[in-house]
Amino acid sequence: MDEIIQELTQVPNPARMIVIVSLPGMGKTQVAIRVSQDLLLRCKKSVIFIETQNTLTDVSREILRRLNCRHVSERHDLVSTAKRRLKELREDTVIVLDNTEDVQGKEFNYFARYLVQYAPKVQLIITSREDLGFESPGIRKVSLKPLDSDSSARLLLRLLQESAGNSEVHGKKLVELCGGIPLLLVQCACLLNNGFSPTVLIEELSATPIRMLKTTGAYNTLCRFFCKFPHSVIENLIRVSVFPSKFSGTDMRFLFDDQLELETAKIKLLKSSLLQKMKNGMVVLHPLVRDFCRTERKSLKMEYVGQEAEHKFNHHYLEQLRRLSKVFITKDSALDAISMFRNEKANIMEAFKNCLQDKSSAEFCIDAANSSEVLDFLAQVLSPPIECTNLYQKCCEFARDSGDQKRLADSLNSLGFLRLRDVAHIKVDRDAVEMFHQAYDIRMTLPEEQQKCETPAHTICKLGLCYSLQVTTLL
């Protein structure tokens, strides 16, 4: 509010147009209302607030009505008449056009540009889910970001009634799950104030946020929002939704055919408020938008696009893990490999998660995880260590459930190695011995050609080490 009012009232060179852009539910309309009130009451400006309209003609009709132009009939060209009357205004007037995304286009852009150039007494405030298609020195653009954690918590606590239960206990988790979207915070508070279980609300928002949104009305808002975009924009949005957190233009490269396609897609997504630019040059997709794209691929008729992007993502980052594991054992390069892994950890772990939920990709994922270089690398750098153990436990579970004996033996060998590394230097670990025993016994049932590789040798070696430790302990 302060920023917008400052731009509109500064002397000299006040802004001629303010464009407030954001995702649905971020508070564009509320900001515009409060700014209008302040301009009217404190700055003594004349303000015309035009709510959502279907066409530019409807916008013009409403402007003329608010200007008390009583002698204009429907036979007139209302758009041209509105432009002429606004050009002739003698009083400083701020016109707020709320939620213009349905009206935007070539004709609307010409209308707005005309007012900026030829209506000196008019200033515009436009709220939209999509940026305008032109630039001008007199235009200032404000992108509403998600609320930070403290602001979200203050809003939620202010909305909650005492009857909503112990709001402080559940508030922190709800703030995290709502992702800084004011509308979602308001709707969660409404549910809690009406007796909805906070535990169930948190569970649903954590596990199936889109299903939860379908009970609040926010889902329909998101659907309407996405339906306005061209097919190509939705397609590119589905592609980049494979990233679990922030990413760069370089990170996106493998999803597109060439650099021109990548840059064009990135600009369109930023312009549509679908991507948010961060200070370090990275971009991020709001978690709610990401979850919507992943959950609703089928309803958006983008199932194949999503599957193809996910397949590329998984292979790209697991191959990158293989490369990093080789860099790690290269002379004087270990620190570089560790640094690069930390930067890409979220993407690499996302690729593992995706593959272990998809039978068609699981074999590639398990083989990558069980290669000796990757196993040793992850054992050294993946923190906390329980993450590494959990990963290989999932590999074991998948191989056992699918009946893949070879990969089960490989995964048991890896899991035994982690146990041996973590605890066997302190005491003999029966679990590690049992894992190597199982891996060895399974190996003995496999064809001879599958015996002549590195992993069986590791299993026998580690099993022998366990026996040596047992003998040493007895002595």
Report the alpha-carbon distance of residue 55 to residue 210 in Å, rounded.
31
CATH of 306-474, one of 1.10.357, 3.10.120, 1.25.40, 2.60.40: 1.25.40
- CATH 1.20.120, domain 231-295, yes or no: no
- At residue 166, the pLDDT reads 53
What's domain 2-143's superfamily in CATH? P-loop containing nucleotide triphosphate hydrolases (3.40.50.300)
Matching CATH topology for 2-143 and 306-474? Answer: no
Helix (H) or strand (E) holding 192: helix 182-193
The structure tokens listed for 115 are 């007012």
- At residue 279, the pLDDT reads 77
Matching residue, tokens 């009857």: 163
Q: What does the radius of gyration of the chain's CA atoms come to, in whole angstroms?
A: 30
With beta carbons less than 8 A apart as the criterion, state whether 85 and 64 touch. yes
* Per-residue model confidence as pLDDT tens for the chain (475 residues): 999 999 999 988 899 999 999 888 899 999 999 999 999 988 888 999 999 899 999 999 999 989 887 666 666 688 999 999 999 998 999 999 999 988 988 999 999 999 999 999 999 999 998 888 778 888 999 988 889 989 998 898 888 875 545 556 678 888 888 888 898 888 888 888 888 888 888 888 888 888 888 777 677 777 877 877 888 999 999 999 999 999 998 999 999 989 999 999 998 888 888 888 887 789 998 888 898 899 888 888 999 999 999 999 999 999 999 999 999 999 889 999 999 999 999 999 999 999 998 888 889 999 999 998 999 999 999 988 889 999 999 999 999 999 999 999 999 999 888 888 776 555 667 888 888 888 888 888 888 777 677 777 878 888 787 777 766 655 5
- At residue 126, the pLDDT reads 95
Q: Where are the domains of the chain?
A: 2-143, 149-207, 231-295, 306-474
* Closest listed residue to residue 69, CA positions, set 89, 92, 53, 96: 89
Q: Hey, what amino acid is at 406?
A: K
Neighbouring C-beta atoms of residue 278, cutoff 10 Å = 12
With beta carbons less than 8 A apart as the criterion, state whether 284 and 251 touch. no
- At residue 370, the pLDDT reads 92
- At residue 93, the pLDDT reads 93
DSSP assignments along 429-460, one per residue: -HHHHHHHHHHHHHHTTS-GGGTSSHHHHHHH
- At residue 222, the pLDDT reads 77
Report the alpha-carbon distance of residue 325 to residue 305 in Å, rounded.
30
- 87-123 burial, b if ≥16 CB within 10 A, otherwise e? eeeeebbbbbbbbbbbbbeeebeebbbbbbeebeebb
- At residue 429, the pLDDT reads 72
Report the alpha-carbon distance of residue 436 to residue 417 in Å, rounded.
8
Residue 100 DSSP symbol: -
- At residue 168, the pLDDT reads 64
Cis upstream peptide for 137 (omega within 30°)? no
- At residue 424, the pLDDT reads 52
* Closest listed residue to residue 460, CA positions, set 401, 407, 404, 417: 417
